[in-house]
Amino acid sequence: MKKSAINYFLIAPALLISIAIILVPGILTIIMSFTDWNGISPNINFIGLGNFQELFADDVFWKSIFNNVKWTILFLTIPVALALLVSALLVEKKKSRSLYQVIFLIPYVLAPAVNAMLWLNIIFNPMSGVIGYLRTIGLDIGSPLTNMSGALYAVAAVDIWHYWGYLSVIYLAALRQTPTDQVEAARVDGCNAWQVFRYVYFPSMKSTFKLMYVMIIIFSFLAFDYIKLLTGGGPAHSTEVLGTYAYTFAFSALQVGKASAVGLFMSFFGMIASVIYTKLSKNEEIA
């Protein structure tokens, strides 16, 4: 293919926007993580690894990482299992599957802000929500969002409710690429439903399954919206994750240097996962 100069001009808008908004500020963040900048003062002092030393000595920082890990484990199990089950059920329902897909995707296409307010007020509100009503009829399950040990699970439940339908649609799209004659052949050979899924359907979605696994790990370390909206990281940092922790440093405590250091950590986990992701998708292209 001819590499004429006009092609550089064509790719420029996308690349320049990305460089100006993401790459340059990203590099600035890396530099800022070694300073004590507060966002306002023109005095910026390099303090070496000071921010990182303070972070490592901070219990909330470790709590946040631990919560991110918990979040990752929750998302790698519950929505994955649910989406696998549903996509396996839907792959043979040729007539009704688009209706079910639309239903399962509705929570996914609604804004996190709307979903969070909806659960906060109609489900979790101890006065006017379903939780409050259950208590009046004698079924007291406490107040999940203000409970130190349960709040993270309550928030994750809302995010999983919003997310899993998307995963099932991706899985289903991959399963549909299975050649139907292979499925028929397995049936004729007397395979039961589980065997057909395990040995015929699943191999054809394996690459998608692996890629989504990596994507879930990456996005679990970026978790922010639902936690910020439902608990703001509380009560007493029990739902704090790196995303909310960095945000609070930057805009409430005005410690931009420290916020940058946390941001750098978030990227670090994502970077490891995305290297794996790139490797995996390269292998897929060759295969």
Partner 1 sequence: MVSTKGKKVRKNISTHLVLIFISCISLGPILLVVLNSFKSHAEIVRNPLSLPTVFHFENYVTAWETGKFSTGFINSMILSGITIIIVLIAASLAGYVLAGKRIKGSDGVLVYFMMAMTVPIQLFLFPLYYAMASLDLIGNIPAVSLILSATSMPLAVFLMRTFFLNVPRELEEAARIDGASTWQVIWHVMRPVVSPGLITVAVIVGLQSWNEYLITSTFLQGEDSFTATLGFLSMNGTYSSDQAILMAAAVIMIAPIVIFFVCIQKYFVDGMASGAVKG
The token pair at 90 is: 């839907």
Q: How far apart are the C-alpha atoms of 70 and 77, rounded to whole Å?
A: 11
Q: How far apart are the C-alpha atoms of 245 and 227, rounded to whole Å?
A: 11
Query: Residue 1 or 57: which CB sits closer to partner 1?
Result: 1
Q: How far apart are the C-alpha atoms of 17 and 81, rounded to whole Å?
A: 38
Q: How far apart are the C-alpha atoms of 76 and 210, rounded to whole Å?
A: 11
- Nearest approach in angstroms of CB 254 to partner 1 is 11
Number of H helices and E strands in the chain, helices first, is 14, 0
Question: Please, what sign has the CA dihedral across residues 15, 16, 17, 18?
Answer: positive
Query: Residue 18 or 53: which CB sits closer to partner 1?
Result: 18
- Nearest approach in angstroms of CB 105 to partner 1 is 7
Query: Residue 149 or 240: which CB sits closer to partner 1?
Result: 240
Nearest to 34 by CA among 25, 43, 46: 46
Nearest to 72 by CA among 147, 156, 146, 171: 156
- Nearest approach in angstroms of CB 156 to partner 1 is 15
- Nearest approach in angstroms of CB 221 to partner 1 is 7
- Nearest approach in angstroms of CB 284 to partner 1 is 6
What's 140's DSSP letter?
-
Query: Residue 149 or 188: which CB sits closer to partner 1?
Result: 188
- Nearest approach in angstroms of CB 127 to partner 1 is 6
Query: Residue 21 or 236: which CB sits closer to partner 1?
Result: 21
Is the CB of residue 160 less than 8 Å from the CB of residue 78?
Answer: yes
Query: Residue 95 or 149: which CB sits closer to partner 1?
Result: 95
For residue 22, the SS3 value is helix
- Nearest approach in angstroms of CB 79 to partner 1 is 12
Query: Residue 200 or 226: which CB sits closer to partner 1?
Result: 226
Read off the amino acid at residue 270: G
Q: How far apart are the C-alpha atoms of 254 and 102, rounded to whole Å?
A: 43
- Nearest approach in angstroms of CB 19 to partner 1 is 9
Query: Residue 115 or 152: which CB sits closer to partner 1?
Result: 115
Residue 102 CB: number of other CB atoms within 10 A? 12
Is the CB of residue 72 less than 8 Å from the CB of residue 220?
Answer: yes
